[in-house]
Copies of this chain bind each other. A is one copy, B any other.
């Protein structure tokens, strides 16, 4: 059902500086940048590798755009670091229903828009061993499966 690690989300105070760190230190390049006003983040996706389900794994660098956003609150409490991990699936609504039925709180009643027009839900970290966990269906997976 979950077929890849889609991305690791990393909270940072200065997106441009973080992009430059990952480029200079490891050679990772920005595949995509966007602002998600709903989530209050400016973000960059750095593609690390392709995956055997036809997708890819990214680092997602997240800078808050406002002080009341979840990432701003995370930075204030924890400082910079890993914010969440995301598993890829071809059917985010089905995966969320199955996982919710197994007793894990799904934080979104319906999938919402994530990076690169993906559809995402978040799971409650207290039900996931302290790990804020996201499920993500890539935009092109929606088309392949007739759900996009």
- A residues within 8 Å of B by Cβ? 1-5, 8, 10-12, 18, 21, 24-28, 48-53, 57, 59, 78-82, 85, 87, 99, 102, 104, 125, 128-131
Contacts and interface: CB of A to CB of B under 8 A. Distances in A.
A26 B2 contact: yes
Closest 8 CB pairs of A and B: A81-B130, A80-B130, A50-B52, A4-B49, A82-B82, A49-B51, A80-B129, A5-B57
B25 A99 contact: yes
A148 to B, nearest CB: 22
Interface residues of chain A: helix, strand, loop or mixed (majority): mixed
A48 to B, nearest CB: 5
A82 B80 contact: no
A20 to B, nearest CB: 11
Nearest to A52: B50
Nearest to A57: B5
